[in-house]
């Protein structure tokens, strides 16, 4: 009975502690105004297609549908040195939303998948499927 009570108290303390932890609400207005975006990526289509050329099975069959770059930011989960833990980090730069439809190993198109990328100084800093949050200013 003592074990059960001790376990319940420990769980209650953990729940209260975790629920009181500060939430990542994104960059502040000071962060936004002082952020470095780099120059506008005029060749953003080439930058993104070059980035995906090593990740697609048949990059020459890829059909892209690009949005227009806008100043934006994105939360990015990065692995810490401990392995399984994640820290939320914010990346600020030129945000581009786009779709890719490419052939798989059987020669059939897989269907368009939506992605987003953050570009700074002509390089993709981060690109991922559209499951994470992306915000434009």
Signed CA dihedral, 36, 40, 44, 47: sign only: negative
In total, how many domains does the chain have? 1
Read off φ and ψ for residue 39, nearest 5 degrees: -75, 160
Q: Is the pTM of this model over 0.85?
A: no
* Spans of the chain, pLDDT less than 70: 1-26, 77-88, 131-137
DSSP 53: T
**Tell me, what's the pLDDT at 87?**
54
Residue 127 in domain: yes
List the domain range (segments joined by +) for residue 100: 26-136
How far apart are alpha carbons 98 and 51 in whole angstroms? 13
Tokens 């990065």 correspond to: 78
**Tell me, what's the pLDDT at 84?**
46
Contact 91, 77 (CB under 8 A): no
Residue 101 in domain: yes
Interval 103-130: pLDDT, tens: 989 999 988 889 999 999 999 988 888 8
Residue 2 in domain: no
Residue 92 in domain: yes
């Amino acid at each position: 009975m003592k074990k059960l009570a001790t376990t319940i108290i420990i769980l209650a303390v953990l729940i209260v502690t975790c629920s009181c932890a500060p939430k990542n609400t994104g960059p502040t207005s000071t962060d936004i105004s002082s952020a470095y975006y780099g120059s506008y990526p005029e060749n953003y289509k080439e930058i993104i297609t070059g980035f995906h050329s090593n990740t697609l099975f048949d990059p020459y069959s890829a059909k892209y549908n690009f949005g227009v770059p806008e100043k934006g930011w994105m939360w990015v989960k990065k692995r810490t040195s401990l392995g399984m833990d994640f820290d939320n980090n914010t990346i600020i730069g030129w945000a581009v939303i786009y779709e890719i439809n490419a052939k798989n190993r059987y020669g059939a198109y897989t269907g368009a998948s939506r992605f987003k990328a953050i570009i700074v100084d002509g390089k993709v800093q981060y690109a991922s499927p559209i499951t994470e949050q992306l915000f434009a200013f």
